[in-house]
Amino acid sequence: MMSTTAVVLMIGLMGMVYQATQLTPPPQIDRKAEEHADDCTRIRLSDGRYLAFREKGVPRNNAKYKIILVHGFGSSKEMNFLAPQELIDELGICFLQYDRAGYGESDPNPKRSVKSEALDIEELADQLELGSKFYVIGVSMGSYPVWSCLKYIPNRQVLAGAALIVPVINYKWRSLPQSLIRDDYRRRLVQLTYLFSSYAPGLLHWWVSQQWLPSNSVLERNPVFFNPHDIEILKKIPGFPMLSKAKLAEREVFDTLRHDFLVGFGDWEFDPTELENPFPSNTSNFHIWQGYEDRVVPFQLQRFISGKLPWIRYHEVPEGGHLIVHYNGLGEAVLKSLLVGEDPLTLDHVKP
């Protein structure tokens, strides 16, 4: 049973993804007229939307490995993926980091779906001429676009490999056993959040604007969501500014978060455990990285998913929480495993 404080904090967190039934249209912004940073570029997609991206690492034209990084909930193309510069230079890695629909400087997609996320990645890869093989890495909520790539990109063999870091679990997947999810408080939270997000978004938009609710900083420090290592990380990084009360009061921000949540935890046309091995000759270059002490996504469910798909290479950080992407050593381990097949014997060294 959760304490009253935990319930209040959970409800506060839920409010980040809803809005009211009686919502006025958000203000229209002409993104084409906006000025952008020199290191940020945008492409125009086939439906007329603009997708913003930036490059890091080795210049794209000189890179041996090209990796599209897919950010999570409330994040953006500015996400920090820690990896030694020496390793990036040695392997010749170019990172393409983009704002998913509605985030950052990318236009919202009113028809957002699981499939549209994959098609955005495909168009980004095509327009940037990434070639016949590229890699994708999805973090937390950024995992569902990667699952979608395996399902919907017509020629799935264009993916040289993929990695998911603390991927979210959709409790609507048919394959999940009741024995693992029946008493999971996170499942109840998601169900309640989804209900209000669908039918009373305005009520929850009002809710998250109230001054008496726990602040974002309180949520960040709460052990219901983060283990001690995560809390140490939160002392060093900016946290989740997009999830602050001030940002959530902005309709564009709120709508983006709400739609992302509804798609990620809604009804999918497929269950990931039913996917076939997307890589030729029964080889495997698909990885899941999970923290054993993750308090947002339970490790038991990740183990189940990985057990159902023998072509998944599963890695578990012994003392890792949900923020392992910020831990020292994790990025290096992910890149070595994904690009050169060098799996670590132990992950005990991955710590804040």
Digit-coded pLDDT (tens) for 147-203: 999 999 866 557 899 999 999 999 999 999 999 999 999 999 999 989 989 999 988
Confirm whether pTM is higher than 0.75. Answer: yes
pLDDT at 239 over 90: no
pLDDT at 238 over 90: no
Give how many domains the chain has, as a whole number. 1
271-306 residue pLDDT tens = 999 998 887 666 779 999 999 999 999 999 999 999
Nearest CA among 340, 230, 350, 229 for reference residue 287? 340
Which residues, in sequence order, are CB contacts of 243 under 8 Å at separation 6+?
16, 74, 216, 219, 257
Residue 259 domain flag: yes
Q: From residue 104, how far is each of 36, 39, 98, 326 by CA, in Å?
A: 11, 14, 9, 21
Strands (E), 256-296: 286-291
Residue 161 domain flag: yes
Pick 90 or 237 by higher pLDDT. 90
In angstroms, rounded to a whole number, what is the distance separating the alpha carbons of residues 13 and 214?
Answer: 9
7-37 residue pLDDT tens = 444 444 444 433 333 344 454 444 443 443 3
Nearest CA among 301, 296, 337, 303 for reference residue 320? 296
Which residues, in sequence order, are CB contacts of 28 under 8 Å at separation 6+?
none
Strands (E), the chain: 40-44, 50-57, 65-70, 93-98, 134-139, 159-165, 286-291, 312-317
In angstroms, rounded to a whole number, what is the distance separating the alpha carbons of residues 186 and 295?
Answer: 9
Return mean pLDDT, the chain.
Answer: 85
Residue 152 domain flag: yes
In angstroms, rounded to a whole number, what is the distance separating the alpha carbons of residues 323 and 326?
Answer: 6
109-154 residue pLDDT tens = 999 999 999 999 999 999 999 987 899 999 999 999 999 999 998 6
Question: What is the 8-class DSSP label of residue 217?
Answer: H
In angstroms, rounded to a whole number, what is the distance separating the alpha carbons of residues 319 and 294?
Answer: 9
Residue 214 confidence class, pLDDT cut points 50, 70, 90: low
Domain that holds residue 292: 4-340
- Tell me what percent of the residues of the chain surpass a pLDDT of 90: 63
In angstroms, rounded to a whole number, what is the distance separating the alpha carbons of residues 205 and 196?
Answer: 10
Q: From residue 96, how far is each of 51, 103, 181 by CA, in Å?
A: 12, 15, 35
The Cβ of residue 170 has, within 10 Å, a number of other Cβ atoms equal to 20
Residue 346 domain flag: no
Residue 92 confidence class, pLDDT cut points 50, 70, 90: very high
Query: How big is the chain by its Cα radius of gyration, in Å?
Result: 19
Residue 308 is predicted with a pLDDT of 95
30-60 residue pLDDT tens = 444 344 334 569 999 999 999 999 999 999 9
Pick 11 or 327 by higher pLDDT. 327
Residue 129 domain flag: yes
96-113 residue pLDDT tens = 999 999 999 999 999 999
Residue 313 domain flag: yes
Residue 179 is predicted with a pLDDT of 95
> Distance from CA of residue 110 to its chain's centroid?
19
Residue 352 domain flag: no
pLDDT at 204 over 90: no
Q: What is the CATH number of the domain that holds 54?
A: 3.40.50.1820
Residue 348 domain flag: no
pLDDT at 343 over 90: no
